Amino acid sequence: MNDFDGKVALVTGTTGIGRATARRLGEGGAAIIALGIDLEANAMLQAELERSGVDALVLAADVSIPDQVETAIAAGVERFGGLDVIVNSAAVHPYGTATSTDFETWNRAMSVNVGSIYLTAHFGIPQMIRRGGGAIVNVASVQGHACQQNVAAYATTKGAIHTLTRSLALDYARQGIRVNSVSPGSVRTPILERAARGDDPNADIEAAFRRFGEAHPIGRIGEPGEVAELIAFLCSSKASFCTGADYRIDGGLLAGIGVR
């Protein structure tokens, strides 16, 4: 389990997959720098990590703002001495078509979902190079491969993450930095809960999750911890020959054709 002894990991997003990943990497021995805008979630994650004996620094930061990302990475490096792993999990999920999505919403999706990966790379990769290399994992989505209707901005960002992942992998392979992405299907996260609730505050979320799960051949939705395990593998030395690729973790969702 201690695949990350002596390593320092930066994780964006303190709920859902980000939270599970911070916990998994911390349990594996890594010191954790976690960034999020949800102050309550930040405090909960800090407390969880501390209870588990993990050395952690959970910071309030909007990962779409350069100064905040730069400051947070600098604080983490000062605290822990370097940076070895970056996991980009922070995301927003607007709904809408190209005509119904306003420009502000479109730009926010691009800035958070894609821009944050650029920013953590821009400020984080020089620190990783000083340590002799490292690993980056970007959380994309099956929506980057095959999308639903009414998710124009979100799906576009997830496709962009696949491309940015390949670009980063090629540009920094010789510096010992591996870069991969993971593309989950439906996973029990706050984003999926909002989708399940829709416009009904009294919606039966578990019933909706069961319905979502029926679309996956495996018959259920995924759990954040399952995605975190894949991310941990890709960040570890066990994945030393893996770079520039996307790994689907979707319960078989994209394995078939949805025609009956």
Active-site residues: which are they?
154
In terms of phi and psi (left: phi > 0; alpha: psi -120 to 50; beta: otherwise), the region of 134 is left
